[in-house]
Structure 1
């Protein structure tokens, strides 16, 4: 079976490129004190996580508890849940997963600490936690070094295993201008370092200082206080990162789609918002300058110009954002060249609870 035999729309994963991207990032971190803890929110399949760990990753980062549970069922860890969870049901799920794999949770307030404390009492075991610092994303995270120190003390008094801190300079990772991206990332990392310094001065030196994303992996990966980097998108590379960091690797993921209509300069494909997202800009047709300029539920509009696209043509589209596009699908068609060699379930698709 070749990829042209696949019914559409469908996700195509080029395993040769995936392995190249994993190898390149693994080699970058192999000889430096900072290590890689890749994000699971991009690939969402244990097949990729296994390969990343085999290439030297020290663990996996997850965004949601559902992702943690997928990794726990596969026996893959250690895992950092780099997000807050709330409510007894989720806390109890956390401890259930922590009984299967090494797992670290994230806190940013006394509320989180108290919930983990109560969950530990129910589970009969302590929880490992790190503290999130707001380094510029303005979502969650402590805002001052004093707040971070007090939260670390509270976590220890509550019987939690305080492991360190994390920050995420996500507002910097996709800044197109290189110098502006570096400046924004350094400002965020300087903020994180202020919290690290305060913790050290208080006798609470962090074992883990986690930061970084694909767009800033080499900035966070050179920052003295940082111990690990949470890059994730590098493994597939989407349209947004191809534009911002063309040096990082080749896109490994495409959406195979079929042209169902051609009217003048407009071609219509069978992929709409139910199979493709565009929040980071127009998706591109692979190996061309053609863009998907419109998406409705079931249809996509391609500015086809004078191209030879006609009904029945199959085209590969590079999503502008892989993470959200992948979340719409249940499987990858894995290829080497044009040959389909496997179908991998996307176990963590829609694992948003």
Structure 2
């Protein structure tokens, strides 16, 4: 079976490129004090996580509890849940997963501490936690070094195993201007360092200082206080990251679509917003210079100057944002060249809460 035999719309993974991207990022961190803990929110399949761990990653980062549970069922860890969870049901699920794999949770307030403390009492075991610091994203996280020190002490008094801190310079990772991206990332990491210094001065030196994304992996990965980097998109290199960091890997992920209509300079493909996302800009053709200019529910609208775009033709589209496009699908068609060698389930997608 070749990829041209696949019914569309469908996600295609070029395994040769995936392996090149994994190997290149692993090589960067191999001899550094900082290590790689890649994010699962991009690939959402244990097949990729296994390969990243085999290449030297010290663990996996997850963004949702459901992703943690996918990894726990596969016996893959250690895992950092780099997000807060709330409610007894999620806290109890956390402790259940923590009985299967090494797992670290994230806190940012006394509310989280109380929830984990109560969950620990129900589970009969403690929890490992790190503190999220707001380094500029303004989502979650402590805002001052004093607040971070107080929260670390509060966690310890509650019987939790405080392990360190994390901060994500996500507002920097996709800045197209390199100088602005570097300076913004450094500002964020300087904030994080201030919290680390305060913790050290209070006798609470963090074991873990986690930061970084694909766009800033070599900034966070060269920052003295940082111990690990959470880069994830590097494994597939979607369109947005390719625009920002063309020096990194090649696109490994494409959406295969079929042209269903051609009217003059307009072509329509069978992939709309239920198969493809465009919040990071229009998705682009992989081998032909076309862009998906607009998405309807089931249709993608292409301004077609390309003569090959006739009804029945199949084209590969590079998503501008891989994470959200992947979340719409249930499987990858894995290829080497044009040959389909496997299908992999996307266990961490959609209903994974």
Instruction: Mark yes or no: TM-score above 0.5.
Output: yes
> TM-score by structure 1 length?
0.99
Match of 2:38 in 1: 38
- Indicate conservation of the 8 Å contact 1:64/1:351, yes or no: no
Within-5 A mapping of 1:47-58: 47-58=47-58
Match of 2:209 in 1: 209
Match of 2:237 in 1: 237
Q: What is the deviation of 1:287?
A: 1.7
Match of 2:219 in 1: 219
Distance 1:307 1:276 in 2: 23
CA offset digits 1:65-122 (Å, max 9, x no partner): 0000000000000000000000000000000000000000000000000000000000
Q: What is the deviation of 1:288?
A: 2.2
Match of 2:61 in 1: 61
Q: Does 1:17 align with 2:17?
A: yes
Match of 1:75 in 2: 75
Q: What is the deviation of 1:352?
A: 4.3
C-alpha RMSD of matched pairs (Å): 0.6
Within-5 A mapping of 1:134-149: 134-149=134-149
Q: Say which is worse superposed, 282-291 or 209-218, in terms of deviation.
A: 282-291
- Indicate conservation of the 8 Å contact 1:67/1:351, yes or no: no
Structure 1 segments, 4+ long, off by >6 Å, are: none
Distance 1:279 1:73 in 2: 32
Match of 1:287 in 2: 287
CA offset digits 1:297-321 (Å, max 9, x no partner): 0000011114321000000000000
Which structure 1 segments of 5+ residues have no match? Answer: none
- Indicate conservation of the 8 Å contact 1:120/1:127, yes or no: yes
> TM-score by structure 2 length?
0.99
Match of 1:193 in 2: 193
- Indicate conservation of the 8 Å contact 1:239/1:321, yes or no: yes
Match of 1:120 in 2: 120
Match of 2:327 in 1: 327
Distance 1:61 1:47 in 2: 15
- Indicate conservation of the 8 Å contact 2:88/2:115, yes or no: yes
Distance 1:187 1:144 in 2: 15
Distance 2:59 2:30 in 1: 14
Distance 2:333 2:232 in 1: 20
Distance 2:119 2:186 in 1: 37
The secondary structure found in structure 1 opposite 2:288 is coil
The secondary structure found in structure 2 opposite 1:151 is helix
- Indicate conservation of the 8 Å contact 1:251/1:318, yes or no: yes
Distance 1:188 1:312 in 2: 49
CA offset digits 1:317-348 (Å, max 9, x no partner): 00000000000000000000000000000011
The secondary structure found in structure 2 opposite 1:282 is coil
Q: What is the deviation of 1:268?
A: 0.2
- Indicate conservation of the 8 Å contact 2:266/2:302, yes or no: yes
Q: What is the deviation of 1:264?
A: 0.7
- Indicate conservation of the 8 Å contact 2:290/2:306, yes or no: no
Distance 1:351 1:320 in 2: 22
Distance 2:306 2:6 in 1: 26
CA offset digits 1:121-145 (Å, max 9, x no partner): 0000000000000000000000000
Residue 29 and residue 71 in structure 1: after superposition, are their counterparts in 2 closer, same or farther (change >3 A)? same
Distance 1:134 1:307 in 2: 50
Q: Does 1:260 align with 2:297?
A: no
Which structure 2 segments of 5+ residues have no match? Answer: none
